[in-house]
Amino acid sequence: HNAATTVWPIGWPLLLALVYVALGETGALWLAMTCLLATALLTAALCRRLLAGSPWGGWAAAGVAGFLLATSQEAVLRSLVPMADAAAALFSVAMLACLTHAREDGRLGWSLAAGICYAVAYWIRHPLLFLGLGALPAYGLGRRSEPVRWRGLLAFAASALVVAAPN
């Protein structure tokens, strides 16, 4: 009986396995690069949304942000082989995008989605546990000028806990 434990989270291998079953080895090899491109597009969209009132509507900043992410030497190198970095970045940026939506319109669905994205990012890279602290200002914690939105924060925390608990 040979058994070994690992320090690596199971999230990335699960994503690879699902893509492998659906698209074969070629699909699995393209997963990291696809995640990198999706992260660049989502980063640009988030930048555009956050800078909508600025000159040019944030288009220049969104383009630069997306371009820098997509062409970063480290990101590209880690995406040419099936490594988890791009997927972890994708779900981290997705969490921030969902938090932005939750902050703007206050609907609990965005808070739930942010919590799910946070938990998936954690499943992929355990050090991303501290990423959840980024949600606190989105719900008014630490801001003297606005009340804390407890319903949204609890929805975020509950959905993250339910998804992350099996790990």
pTM (predicted TM-score): 0.89
Q: What is the pLDDT of residues 119-155, one digit of tens each?
A: 999 999 988 889 999 888 888 887 677 788 899 999 9
CA 80, 67, 81 angle in degrees (round to 5)? 5
DSSP E strand boundaries for the chain:
none
Q: Are 66 and 47 in contact (CB under 8 A)?
A: yes
| Gap between the Cα atoms of 100 and 48, Å rounded | 12
Q: Which distant-in-sequence residues (6+ apart) come within 8 Å of 125 by Cβ?
A: 9, 11, 84, 85, 88
60, HSE (Cβ side, Cα atoms, 13 Å)? 4
Q: According to the per-residue pLDDT averaged within each range, which of 49-63, 99-113, 136-150 is highest?
A: 99-113
